Amino acid sequence: MSLTLDQIRAALPEGGLFEGNWQYSPEPLKLTKAEGRFLQSLGHPLAQFQRACDDLYRRSAAGKMPGWIAELLDTGKPAWMADLQREPGFREAMPQVIRPDLILMEDGFSLTELDSVPGGIGITAWLSRTYADAGFDVLGGRDGMLAGFSSVLPEDGAILIAEEAADYRRELEWLVRESGGGRTVESAEEYQPDGRALYRFFEWFDWESVPAARRLAEMSAAGEIQLTPPCKPHLEDKLWLALLWTPALKTVWEKALRGSHLTRVRDIVPHGWVVDPAPLPPQAALPVLGVNSWEEVIAFSQKLRRLVLKISGFHETAWGSRGVHVGHDLSQAEWGERLRTAMDDHGQQPWIMQSFSEGRLIEHPVYREDGSVYQMKGRVRLCPYYFTDANGVTTLAGALATLAPADKKKIHGMRDAVLLPCCVAD
């Protein structure tokens, strides 16, 4: 069983799905049964983790938990936005789409990001349908992505897409056409509230470029319109992946999350640290790193720099791998410059550092331009999409695998990469 290159190209909608190209394969990425079961069951623990994050933030902002938590998460954000996300009417408002970025490791998965405003929904839906029609039993089913998206945006709803995310317009237009029911894609910069339910496809850091953004956020907090993902920018910060490992919050997490859920999340989230330049007491050390200052981290040898610096979230470089720096891929001088920038930014724009996740090498068949096939050696980022319906049930709807050449440290959509749906091996 295989899908020919001609069949794939013939199935593409006119104009394509994305600004740019990727490579194609005759078959989906094959996961083991254990990997398939893991992905099927991961959505609920991740949804519970997000709820625990939101509750921790709200309790901190209300003075029921240490105030530094909310202060850190509000750093760099406008006051109106920080205040609005604390409104009582927003207590139950949570992202209805969860997409973790998972690196396929030798012994499981490593979660490098938890995205609440993910691209790729339309591309994954198209890939799932195209490969399913060729006879493959894709993860999430032929129309799982379309059904999942339809469950979070009513039939007469609209997707608001900002110019910042214009590369994704074609896939979203395909998505609403196939979903039907009068859904449309609208320019976020030109949109004026008209009572429709809205799916937000712009980042909150870009709010000043969207004239109606604040009004939409305030209307949704008042219950006047349905807006998803909600105006909770703290949930779009990478800071949570470091706060999960902060020693001062160990007992807090143990109380906030059921034991099995906390274990599931910690098993896949690499150790992380908030890059806070505040001096440590002489008898203290950065956990796991075992040093007393960030200056000592700057002096790490290349062997010890298997670390990743990431800008946290409320910034134009916080998506698409642009604000990500791999320590052992930089010279000593470059590493020092990046880390000092992160330290200097702390009061305006927090950064985190995580242990680097080395994906396992796999081989997978890939088409050349002339239709011949070769075995590509590379590493995989898996992006399962989970949708939470009106009853609070979180379900896997599909998974997008990005296979990047073995020499790439950062795995993301690129001309050299292969985009694939996933299936479970027999």
Residue that has been written with the tokens 């609208």 in this structure: 186
pLDDT one-digit tens code per residue, 158-204 = 999 999 888 899 999 999 999 988 999 999 999 999 999 999 999 89
Q: How confident is the model at residue 255 (pLDDT cuts 50, 70, 90)?
A: very high
DSSP assigned state of 278? S
Q: Is the confidence at residue 331, as pLDDT, over 80?
A: yes
For residue 412, pLDDT beyond 90? no
pLDDT of residue 407: 77
Cβ atoms 134, 3 nearer than 8 A: yes
* CB of 274 closer than 8 Å to CB of 338: no
pLDDT of residue 317: 58
* Whether the predicted pLDDT of 33 surpasses 70: yes
Domain 271-355 listed as CATH 3.30.1490:
yes
Mean pLDDT of 248-261: 93
Domain boundaries for CATH 3.30.1490 within the chain: 271-355
Q: What is the pLDDT of residue 316?
A: 66
Average pLDDT score over residue span 366-377: 93
Distances (CA, A) of 198 to 36, 87, 185, 322: 32, 20, 10, 28
Q: Which residue has the tokens 């274990």?
A: 263
pLDDT band at 15 (very low <50, low <70, confident <90, very high): confident
pLDDT at 295: 96
Asked whether the whole model's pTM tops 0.85, one would answer yes
